[in-house]
Structure 1
Amino acid sequence: MNQIIIDVGIQENRVAVIENNELVEIYIEKDDNKRIVGNIYKGRVVNVLPGMQAAFVDIGLEKNAFLYVKDAIPKEMLSNKKLNLKDISIKDVIKSGQDIIVQVIKEPFGSKGARVTTHITIPGRHIVLMPYTDYIGISRRISNETERNRLKEIAESIKPENMGLILRTAVEGLGIEDFKDDIKFLLKVLNKIDSERNLGFAPRVMYKDLDLVHRTVRDLFTNNVEKLVINNRDEYKSIVELVEMISPQLKSRVEYFDLSYDIFGHFGISQDMNKALDRKVWLKSGGYVIIDETEALTSIDVNTGKYVGTINLEDTVLKTNIEAAKEIAKQVRLRNIGGIIIIDFIDMNNEEHEKEVLEILKNELKKDRTKSTVLGITQLGLVEMTRKKVRSRLTSHLLKECPYCDGTGRVYSEGFVIGLIEKEIKRLKLHTSAEAVILEVNPHIAKYLYDNNNYIIRRIEGEYGINMFIRESDSIHHNEIKVKNIGKVDFIKGILDK
């Protein structure tokens, strides 16, 4: 069963996409950090960088947006096969201080600002309008050649002059009458943008895409979805009105879920989301996959784990790699991992087996709406692939960097912390007349100090002739120690009581 489950919260809205009873996509939009991809801005060029063939554009966000030269050149020029981008400088296309209409095509990420383009597109339910490009495109998910030709004929008959259209997946099987309202709406939005082009000062927003809830209905709620469930009464009514307008035949599939229940818990989504944050993903066979995300790339390692097979080693490796290929395609989509991805499958000596695993990986990735490319196997036996970065990874929404380890995922070993304690005691003994100290540490370190009949404590005390009194504190993190010089041993009881 394919379902869309929408959880409307106080601070954020979450959308879960379920295919064949498995969670495959999660979308999260926070009130204070709404998605801006698709928004159109009147911006101002603040800096042109010929050395980078790009420019920075102020669109009113915290960080300036980034505009590449190929996104600044008019589309009709780019379609010229004789054109060589290397012969065009960004300074010949736009000037510093110039007002410019741009659209966000990539969210700000980390230290990077949003990426923008001058090639404006306006999405509707069935059609994406490209106002400044004379072009017709059809969703790659529509694979039947006869249907593609039929839709192309319809597109040519309804396409506004000197504009382009992309027909979305939802148009499959529709007739020309189904497109008219969409075209009318998109042209109305375009007229509004054009009429405001010379009004007001930059930077400012000229067009905002729909919020997550309504964008989900527009983009994902198709005939393939058996049910859309939402837990907010007002949003439920709003969705029903939108569905009545764009796809009335789907109205009966919209359901309201009682707000007093945890909708994600009821459908088992919370548990699947937690698994999507794990570094290790277990396979049904007993094998497992390790996923490590970094800023530069994502590495994925496949292991047989508990799976020992039944026939021979070659068969065991093949079955594990096939299962892993399916799981990797699912996890990449679920976690929304973008950029360079390196996969280390278990070594296969059979070339036919390698081809089979790669083919399965490619076929599974076709289920993903975000474009990915499998480049093949390197000389080191690693699979290289890329996936387009469209929105932030799931981990960036649900996790934050650890304040103790600064994102490394590791803390000092107990032995290293004991070394820090010893150095501090030695420093105190050399520069003060301390006879006793209070040592405040994390409970894990305290336990390590107490182990083996206080052997470490007695050894430090004997080495430096100083009395140590241990105080455990949950507020002290693993890497931290606090040593307080209390001078003479006679004062220890009074100070500890305080």
Structure 2
Amino acid sequence: MKGRQVIIGRVLGQEAAALLVDGRLEDLFIDSSDLTPLPPGAICRAKVERLVKGQGGVFLRLPEGARGYLRDRNGLSEGQSLIVQVTGVAEDGKAVPCSGRILLRGRNVIVTPGAGGVNVSRQIKDADERAALTEICEAAIAELADPPGIIIRSAAVLAEDDEIREELEGLVGLSVALAEDLEGSPELLLDAPSPAEAAWRDWAQPEPDAIEEGDDSFAQSGAEDAVAALLSTRVDLDGGAWASIESLRALSAIDVNTGSDTSPAAGLKANIALARDLPRQLRLRGIGGQIVIDFAPIAKRDRGTLEQVLRAAFKAETAETVLIGWTAMGLFELNRKRDRILLSRLAGGA
């Protein structure tokens, strides 16, 4: 099917949502509550357990006996209560990454407690629209003694003013309630959104051409086959080339191969094909942390071209990604925030 198609159903035995664009799987949300009680996005009350000297962070006591880690220790002391948001997925045996910067995400706006000001998405270009949306948001927090910040999302240009006001009222009220719920034992205060909720919130623009729901929707749309293909380490590229993507304990390794054609032109073509698709592959597979790529052999003069393709590919990616560069051995390193659980872990249930 051409256009944007949202699929709501089940895959790998879990509730899930998929975004297909012209029939290709572009994004995927799968319920991970069976693997972790505190998935990314969850907001909870925590207690400072121990300050970490030399690293500038603190270990936290979280709900369900979990242990968290917060990088910023400014103004914190042991035993202190604070509100934190889970920002990533903990590796086995490690603490859950958390942030003291809370993001209350809506379809049209994001409310940021403790970080004042109204900011408008750069994708909204029209000055009159920017001014009108800013006015709506400023009016929503005008009477608060300690107003939160507001980020106006690009989807807001398609929403009615009353819809934006209603969403703001709910999120600002939630911000106030969280601030008043500081004292007490570690407790989950707001769970992460379900896959269907996340799809409604994050895939609003452009508006989907079709929405398919039901337990068999993944199979009928072809999304189930696309998810199954992601469980293979092999990614086929044009011209018989292919890449291997493997997640190991310390890092993820990617190897690009040209197949039977070993010419320099084939190597550059295969590398560019992998680079363009890499953000999607990492996002769908839930891969984060340190990533090392062994590109197919190319002339050193072509490395700059390949880097430009990589930077352009990751420009629109929402997950924080740092392109580190080439190693002495000719490998390329990058680091992507661990904001999702590995798809292979979700499939294996561990």
Give TM-score scaled by structure 1 length: 0.62
Whether contact under 8 Å (1:339, 1:387) holds in the other structure is: yes
| Cα distance, 1:373 vs structure 2 | 2.9
CA distance in 1, matches of 2:127, 2:290: 32
| Cα distance, 1:379 vs structure 2 | 3.9
Residue 197 (str. 1) matches residue 182 (str. 2): yes
Whether contact under 8 Å (1:42, 1:197) holds in the other structure is: yes
CA distance in 2, matches of 1:168, 1:279: 35
More strand by share: 2
Between 1:272-281 and 1:155-164, the stretch displaced more is 155-164
Give the aligned residue type for 1:41. Answer: C
Whether contact under 8 Å (1:136, 1:156) holds in the other structure is: no
Runs of 4+ in 1 over 6 A off after TM superposition: none
Counterpart of 1:394 in structure 2 is 343
Residue 115 (str. 1) matches residue 135 (str. 2): no
User: Structure 1 residues 107 and 322, CA, compared in 2 at 3 Å: closer, same or farther?
Assistant: closer
User: Structure 1 residues 52 and 329, CA, compared in 2 at 3 Å: closer, same or farther?
Assistant: closer
Counterpart of 1:348 in structure 2 is 298
Residues 159-174 of structure 1 correspond to what in structure 2 (within 5 A)?
159=138, 160=141, 162-172=147-157
Residue 130 (str. 1) matches residue 120 (str. 2): no
User: Structure 1 residues 319 and 390, CA, compared in 2 at 3 Å: closer, same or farther?
Assistant: same
User: Structure 1 residues 61 and 138, CA, compared in 2 at 3 Å: closer, same or farther?
Assistant: farther
Counterpart of 2:14 in structure 1 is 12
Counterpart of 1:186 in structure 2 is 171
Between 1:163-172 and 1:131-140, the stretch displaced more is 131-140
| Cα distance, 1:186 vs structure 2 | 1.1
- Give CA-to-partner distance per residue, 1:359-409, whole Å, 9 cap, x none: 2223233353323232333443322222121121111211367xxxxxxxx
Counterpart of 2:233 in structure 1 is 279
From 184, 191, 204, the equivalent of 1:221 is 204
User: Structure 1 residues 9 and 344, CA, compared in 2 at 3 Å: closer, same or farther?
Assistant: closer
More helix by share: 1
| Cα distance, 1:29 vs structure 2 | 0.7
Question: Over aligned residue pairs, what C-alpha RMSD do you find?
Answer: 2.8
User: Structure 1 residues 38 and 291, CA, compared in 2 at 3 Å: closer, same or farther?
Assistant: closer
CA distance in 2, matches of 1:290, 1:356: 22
Whether contact under 8 Å (2:81, 2:182) holds in the other structure is: no
Counterpart of 1:25 in structure 2 is 27
Give the aligned residue type for 1:297. Answer: L
Residues 241-256 of structure 1 correspond to what in structure 2 (within 5 A)?
none
Residues 420-435 of structure 1 correspond to what in structure 2 (within 5 A)?
none
From 323, 326, 341, the equivalent of 1:377 is 326
User: Structure 1 residues 11 and 173, CA, compared in 2 at 3 Å: closer, same or farther?
Assistant: closer
3-state SS of the aligned residue for 1:285? helix
User: Structure 1 residues 373 and 52, CA, compared in 2 at 3 Å: closer, same or farther?
Assistant: closer
| Identical aligned residues as a percent | 23
3-state SS of the aligned residue for 1:56? strand
Whether contact under 8 Å (1:345, 1:382) holds in the other structure is: yes
CA distance in 1, matches of 2:120, 2:208: 21
- Give CA-to-partner distance per residue, 1:335-367, whole Å, 9 cap, x none: 12112222222222262x333332222323335
Counterpart of 1:211 in structure 2 is 194
| Cα distance, 1:96 vs structure 2 | 1.9
Whether contact under 8 Å (2:12, 2:347) holds in the other structure is: no
3-state SS of the aligned residue for 2:63? coil
CA distance in 2, matches of 1:379, 1:136: 45
| Cα distance, 1:177 vs structure 2 | 5.1
CA distance in 2, matches of 1:265, 1:157: 43
Counterpart of 2:254 in structure 1 is 300
Considering Cα pairs closer than 8 Å and 6+ residues apart, tell me whether 1 or 2 has the greater RCO. 2
Between 1:43-52 and 1:270-279, the stretch displaced more is 43-52
| Cα distance, 1:211 vs structure 2 | 2.2
Whether contact under 8 Å (2:113, 2:175) holds in the other structure is: yes
- Give CA-to-partner distance per residue, 1:70-89, whole Å, 9 cap, x none: xx43xxxxxxxxxxxxxxxx
CA distance in 2, matches of 1:171, 1:59: 34
Give the number of equivalent residue pairs: 341
Which of structures 1 and 2 has the bigger CA Rg? 1
Unaligned runs of 5+ in 2: none
Whether contact under 8 Å (1:3, 1:228) holds in the other structure is: yes
Give the aligned residue type for 2:25. Answer: L
Counterpart of 1:246 in structure 2 is none
Whether contact under 8 Å (1:139, 1:167) holds in the other structure is: yes
CA distance in 2, matches of 1:330, 1:106: 18
| Cα distance, 1:138 vs structure 2 | 4.0
Unaligned runs of 5+ in 1: 74-92, 232-258, 402-498
Whether contact under 8 Å (2:243, 2:256) holds in the other structure is: yes
Residues 87-126 of structure 1 correspond to what in structure 2 (within 5 A)?
93-126=75-108
